[in-house]
Structure 1
Amino acid sequence: MSTVIEQALQARLVASAPRMDVVPVVLRYDPADPFAVRMAFPAPATLEGVEAEWAFSRDLLAAGADAPAGVGDVRIRPYGHDRTVVEFHAVEGVAVVHVRTSEVRRFLRRTRQVVPSGCEYLFLDLDRDLAHLLRDAR
C-alpha cells in the first residue's frame, strides 16, 4: 500500500498587475513516483479555467527552498526569510507563485518519512514501468 502525502497551502499568485491573488494549491507526493512532487492549481487560478498540475523533482523543491535552483520549466528560489518562489515556464507564459517556506519544509519532512532522500530507487517498480511502456508497442 502506498502512502500518498498531500498538503494544502495558500499560494500568492504574482500577476503583471501590482496585486497578488491568494490561491489554494495542493502539494502531492506519491511513493509510486518517488522522485517527483506535484503542485495542483484549481481551475479559477488558470488561464484556461481548468485544473492544472505541474510535476517536478522533489530534490528541486528542497534545493530551491535554500538557494536558486532549476533552469528548465520549473525554477525555485528563496524570497526573503519566509517565502519560496516557484516559477512555472510554459509556451503560454510564466506563472509565479509565492509559498511559505515553512510549509514547503514541512511537506518535504513528511515525504522523507515515507521515502528517505537517496532511497527513492527502492520504491521504483521497474517491471511495472517497463510493462507499461511496452504495452502499446504491440
Structure 2
Amino acid sequence: MSRPLEKTIDATLRSVIGEWHELLVRLRYVPHDPLAVRLDFLVAESEPPVATWVFARDLLATGLTRPSGEGDVRVRPHGQDATDVELISGRARCLVRMASVPVRDFVVRTRPAEEHCDEEIATALGRLLTELLPGGVRKNADS
C-alpha cells in the first residue's frame, strides 16, 4: 500500500467546560509512518485541519473493543455504536465521540499496510543480523 488512506467522519467534541459541539474529523494513515494514525480536526472538509493529533494505530484498533491508552490519547468504546477518543494536553482535555462503524472501516483498511510493514521489518532485521553475526544467521536444528 503506497498511498495514504483517509476517512472523514461526523463527530461531537466535549470541551473542557462540558459543552458538546459538532465537528468533522478526518482519520489519516500515511504509509511512511505505518504504525501511526492522524486525527485531523476540520472546520470544513476542503480546508486544512485546524489541529492534528498523531497516535498509535494499535491504540485506535484496540480502543474499538476495550479501553486503551494511558498517556495523552485514550480510546474506548462508548456503548455499542460509538468510540470515544480522549485527548489530554497538560491540564486541558477534550473528548471526541465518533460512530464506531466508520472508525472500524478505517482501521480494517490500514491492516494490509501493517502486515506489509511487519514483513519489511522482519526482512531488515534478518539482513542486519546476517551482517552483524559471524557466519550469518542459521536456523536452529531443532526447528
Give the TM-score category using the shorter length: 0.7 to 0.9
Gaps of 5+ in 2: 125-143
Q: Which runs of 5+ in 1 are unaligned?
A: 45-49, 127-138
User: Counterpart of 2:34 in 1: which secondary structure?
Assistant: coil
Provide the TM-score with structure 1 as the length reference: 0.76
Instruction: Tell whether 2:94 aligns with 1:103.
Output: no
Give the counterpart letter for 1:26 in structure 2: R
Tell me if the contact between 2:35 and 2:114 (Cα under 8 Å) persists in the aligned partners.
no
Indicate the SS of the match to 1:22.
Answer: strand
1:120: Cα distance to partner? 2.4
Which residue does the alignment assign to 1:29? 29
Offset from partner CA, 1:51-100 (integer Å, 9 cap, x none): 11000011000000100000000000000110000000002500101001
Give per-residue Cα distances to partners, 1:101-137, cap 9 Å, x unaligned: 1111000111124x144x424457x8xxxxxxxxxxx
Q: 1:32, 1:123 within 8 Å by CA — same for their partners in 2?
A: no
Give 1:19 deviation, angstroms. Answer: 4.3
Give me the TM-score of the superposition, normalised by structure 2. Answer: 0.73
Equivalent residue number for residue 11 of structure 1: 11
Quote the residue 1:74 is aligned against: 73
SS of the counterpart of 2:108? helix
Task: Work out the CA distance in 2 between the residues paired with 1:10 and 1:43.
Answer: 11
Assess if the C-alpha contact under 8 Å between 2:34 and 2:114 holds in 1. Answer: no
Q: Tell me which residue corresponds to 2:117.
A: 120
